[in-house]
Structure 1
Amino acid sequence: MTDEGSPQTNRWRHGARLAACIVFLLTMFYLVAVVHVIDINRVRDLVEATGPAAPLVYALVAALLGAILVPGPILAAGSGLLFGPLVGTFVTLAATVGTATISSYLGRRAGHQSARGLLGPERADRLTAQLDRHGLWAVVGQRFIPGAPDALSAYTFGALGIPLWQMATGALIGSTPRAFVYTALGASIGDLSAPLAYTAITIWCITAILGALAAHRTLQTWRHRKTPDPEPPAKP
């Protein structure tokens, strides 16, 4: 029988804790993205009523809503509808960085120790060293990958131990193109044939292609590193 404090028991405990975090996040995603328990239009109307403080209020509210997995494109479109493409893009970026920071922090608090326990000390230390060197660009790259959920990725990065400053800076750099795209589309919602809408769609396509190419290159590099070098033939 396995002792209470044995490595096997600890691995099961860490696995159960991470599984509980995943179930919670998936439940939140179902509630806000499928059931729509949060009325974004109602939130937008309430924010608009705050007057001159509306951009700041919306950035704060959108950051919190993003952290509970309200889809970012919907929030960005609301920003464009309220504030236009210019101011709205800055509001969207502020909300995006806020969501990334909050989600990463919560992921670190809830899952970092369990992630280290499952990986083991040696693997965890190697991963930490890699993230310290390349974590910023890992976040930037994730933001360019089409279809990658930003908030869920931020929770994962936090659980893996990426520093908060890298998470925030990477989100700012990597999210700028998409922030403009979705905000501009929201501002153009009444006329999607406008030049602004076409510009946004073009930027989205370019970003998606670059992200897919970068993800493919990263995967190929990872596979190459994982493939052991062939042993030299034995001398006769």
Structure 2
Amino acid sequence: MVDTEDTPETSRRRHLVRLALVVGVLGVLFYLTAVRRVIDVASVRDLIESTGPAAPLAYVMVSAVLGALLVPGPLLAAGSGFLFGPVLGTFVTLGATVGSAVISSLAGRRAGRDSARALLGPKRAERVDRLLDRGGLWAVVGQRFVPGINDALASYVFGAFGVPLWQMAAGAFIGSAPKAFVYTAVGASLGEFSAPLLATAIVVWCVTAVLGAFAAHRGWRHWRDSHQ
């Protein structure tokens, strides 16, 4: 009779395959939404505009889902600014950003947390849990400041490693505020050009990028030193 119990090797292989499938699905989503642009953000914006007074709330909900599907956040934020202006638009963008972070984190937790913990092993998983308990919130904040990283993809990873939802929501709100203003202001300038607003957005983006790069370098040095 064949022994059907999992060996450590087969169990590890199964978890690797599961994570590979998750990464593959996210890769396909990224290609379709960020590269091929199969979702027309302008058409979505026009459809939401037709909802009248409910448009801001509708945009928050729809944009949160689209962001979790890896539609580029700057495009969604620019659409918010075009529709609602720089002030209301920034709050709409932030609401959508927090919603997208929570959705992505929940999906990442459900799809990859068990496999990630299994591959890390009990001791390393406990160490990661302790690190997240102490600094998960600021890890999310810092990631949002670093330029060039897709926020939704990062949220999937944070979810897989078990960052609590309240930390994801608070970290996304705090860390995304500067970029939310920047991209929303750019979108608002497309509707009604304002040189001071655009200049302010550029300055905020540059300052945020510098702070993010500095934080990423400092975090990397701290991690490297702690593992030597």
TM-score range, shorter chain: over 0.9
1:15 aligned residue = 16
Report if the CA contact (8 A) 2:109-2:162 is conserved: yes
Larger Rg belongs to: 1
Helix, strand or coil at the partner of 1:162: coil
1:132 aligned residue = 133
Report if the CA contact (8 A) 1:3-1:9 is conserved: no
1:6 aligned residue = 7
Instruction: For 2:200 and 2:76, locate their aligned partners in 1 and report how far apart those are by CA, in whole Å.
Output: 20
1:116 aligned residue = 117
Q: Is the aligned partner of 1:107 residue 2:108? A: yes
Report if the CA contact (8 A) 1:139-1:167 is conserved: yes
1:178 aligned residue = 179
Helix, strand or coil at the partner of 1:122: helix
Q: Is the aligned partner of 1:70 residue 2:65? A: no
Once the two structures are superposed, residues 73-120 of structure 1 have per-residue CA deviations (whole angstroms, 9 ceiling, x without a partner) of: 000000000000000000000000000000000000000000001001
Give, in angstroms, the shift of residue 226 of structure 1.
Answer: 1.2
Mark the CA change 1:192 to 1:209 in structure 2 (over 3 Å): closer, same or farther.
farther
Give, in angstroms, the shift of residue 223 of structure 1.
Answer: 1.1
Instruction: For 1:192 and 1:203, locate their aligned partners in 2 and report how far apart those are by CA, in whole Å.
Output: 18
Which structure 1 segments of 5+ residues have no match? 228-236
Structure 1 stretch displaced more, 189-198 or 79-88: 189-198
Matched residue type, 1:124: A
Once the two structures are superposed, residues 149-196 of structure 1 have per-residue CA deviations (whole angstroms, 9 ceiling, x without a partner) of: 100000000000110000000000000000000000100025666110
Give, in angstroms, the shift of residue 34 of structure 1.
Answer: 1.5
1:47 aligned residue = 48
2:163 aligned residue = 162
Once the two structures are superposed, residues 107-161 of structure 1 have per-residue CA deviations (whole angstroms, 9 ceiling, x without a partner) of: 0000000000100111001101110111000000000001111000000000001
Give, in angstroms, the shift of residue 37 of structure 1.
Answer: 1.1
Which structure 2 segments of 5+ residues have no match? none
Matched residue type, 2:135: H
Report if the CA contact (8 A) 1:192-1:198 is conserved: no
Report if the CA contact (8 A) 2:82-2:191 is conserved: no
Instruction: For 1:132 and 1:8, locate their aligned partners in 2 and report how far apart those are by CA, in whole Å.
Output: 30
TM-score (norm 2): 0.97
Report if the CA contact (8 A) 2:145-2:212 is conserved: yes
TM-score (norm 1): 0.93
Helix, strand or coil at the partner of 1:189: helix
2:86 aligned residue = 85
Q: Using the aligned pairs only, state the percent identity.
A: 64
1:95 aligned residue = 96
- State the 4+ residue runs in structure 1 displaced beyond 4 angstroms: 190-193
Instruction: For 2:73 and 2:37, locate their aligned partners in 1 and report how far apart those are by CA, in whole Å.
Output: 14
Once the two structures are superposed, residues 17-76 of structure 1 have per-residue CA deviations (whole angstroms, 9 ceiling, x without a partner) of: 000000000100101111111111110010000000000000000000000000000000
Structure 1 stretch displaced more, 54-63 or 35-44: 35-44
Instruction: For 2:194 and 2:206, locate their aligned partners in 1 and report how far apart those are by CA, in whole Å.
Output: 16
Matched residue type, 2:73: G
Give, in angstroms, the shift of residue 205 of structure 1.
Answer: 0.2
Instruction: For 2:209 and 2:4, locate their aligned partners in 1 and report how far apart those are by CA, in whole Å.
Output: 50
Instruction: For 1:176 and 1:200, locate their aligned partners in 2 and report how far apart those are by CA, in whole Å.
Output: 12
Q: Is the aligned partner of 1:205 residue 2:206? A: yes
